[in-house]
A and B are shown apart, each in its own frame.
Chain A
């Protein structure tokens, strides 16, 4: 009995170290930038955003009614948006999913200029210069993409650029399963 107590005491520092190392190791895998969204499985907020150019119709929450759709938050000043832009253009070209854009906290005219200089992958784009809709959706930065289901609920939020890998591994299976929902 005294032997096992002595052994325990001898290994206590090692066990303590192992526990702390395991805890810290686990903490390292936690990305503090990946904040969970509060809106998952909740209805997307109602909104009606003005268009970027006077000719088009802007973007309202009703535009997304009844379909599985992507709502992409972007800005002309955002580097990650440039990274994901070719993927978005490809998605639009393939007609993979209806893609809508929210131009977040841009100076007047900058968003339109950016879309004209690159390409416009969005069916419709709404202007959110104050960032207020972004706050309602819990946006912490751009780019962010929300997956909306047929009933208008937010089912997934992706923070950061959509790369071809992210598209294939996360979005495609998710969209397929959402489409099979009745």
Chain B
């Protein structure tokens, strides 16, 4: 049993490891300064590839993603901060390139929609459970009628039992 659990956990870990997307950055794109390169990787992970749309430019092999990776590195080398670099790209492609959308009026639903749905579902579940519980409470609370008393006595064996 323990061995089975252990091997399952091992397999899960292995799959988790395998599912980490491989970066598309090629060695010739990389900056010599490791700190700057690390920042470039951080920025690239936040930017959406506009061709493949559900990958970051760090993950995507699309030529345009490569161009944007090089552009990011150029801006950082020129002395831009991470935010300035991101804003440079956003000025050209819009908020759409941000994999994490900014909190604004038109994204409120996106940010709080799941919490809102959860609250609604919880409320609905609460009401349903309450409604289901009530009828049984009422029956238990109602006193037995004379007929019911008679039938109960019969069932409990005060009257002759018929087979």
Contacts and interface: CB of A to CB of B under 8 A. Distances in A.
Contacts of B63: 105, 131
Given A140-B50, A140-B51, A35 B67 contact: no
A86 B127 CA distance: 64
B94 A138 contact: yes
B68 interface: yes
Contact of A38 (B67, B93, B124): B93
Given A38-B92, A135-B92, A141 B51 contact: yes
Interface in A2-45: 9, 12, 32-33, 35-39
- Size category, B interface: 10 to 19
Given A38-B91, A105-B63, A135 B68 contact: yes
Interface of B: 50-51, 53, 63-64, 67-68, 71, 90-94, 96, 124, 127, 131
Given A9-B127, A38-B91, 6 more contacts: A35-B93, A35-B94, A38-B92, A130-B67, A132-B71, A141-B51
Question: Which 7 residue pairs across A and B have the least CB separation, nearest first?
Answer: A140-B50, A138-B92, A38-B94, A131-B67, A138-B93, A35-B96, A38-B92
